Amino acid sequence: MKIKQVSVFLENKSGRLREVAQILGDAGINISAFTVADTSEFGVLRLVVDNPEEAFRILKERHFSVRTTDVLLVNSSNKPGALSQLLNILSEEGIFIEYLYAFTMNDDNAVFVVRPTNVEKCHTVLEKYKDDLNGKGK
């Protein structure tokens, strides 16, 4: 499934992440998953939220550098080998990944957040293997 991920530029200073969390919390926006990519001086906070348009608007209003990026959510079974299975598929299909992270929904299901270089191509590939990844295939 293709969704909008919200990315925020943050300096490596204490309290920055807290401020973003506070703003989103106050606005009633739920965060399903997030990750921080960091360097020694700055980081990029990437968020999967229930209302990306609203999150974008509010953070922009508060003068954050924020943007939305198309990413793919991939449902997977929550069991050993699931990540390797996904990566095998992408590798064989020649899909290059900029970054990815994951979260688990419950004991049975996990979700990968994938940012491929070519979103459309990756989307098509993953649709094809949807059932395999879900553990519903053969």
Q: Which of 50, 61, 92, 98 binds another protein (CB under 8 A)?
A: 98
Nearest to 17 by CA among 78, 57, 51, 59: 59
Distance of alpha carbon 46 from alpha carbon 67, whole angstroms: 10
Among left, alpha and beta (phi > 0; psi -120 to 50; other), residue 100 is: beta
Q: Shortest Cβ distance from residue 2 to another protein (Å)?
A: 16
- For another protein, the closer CB: 16 or 130: 16
Q: Based on the shown chain and the rule CB under 8 A, indicate whether residue 39 belongs to the binding site for another protein.
A: yes
CA–CA separation, 138 and 127 (whole Å): 16
Could you tell me the sign of the dihedral formed by the alpha carbons of 35, 51, 108, 99, in that order?
negative
Q: Which of 22, 65, 91, 104 binds another protein (CB under 8 A)?
A: 65
CA distance linking residue 52 with residue 54, whole number of Å: 5
Matching residue, tokens 């990756």: 122
Which CB sits closer to another protein, 64 or 112? 64
| Interface stretch with another protein, choices 37-45, 83-91, 100-108, 128-136 (CB under 8 A) | 37-45
Closer residue to another protein in complex, CB, 16/121: 16
Nearer to another protein, 4 or 130 (CB): 4
Number of residues that bind another protein (CB under 8 A): 21
Q: Applying CB under 8 A, which residues contact another protein?
A: 5, 7, 9-11, 16, 37-39, 41-42, 44, 46, 63-67, 69, 98-99
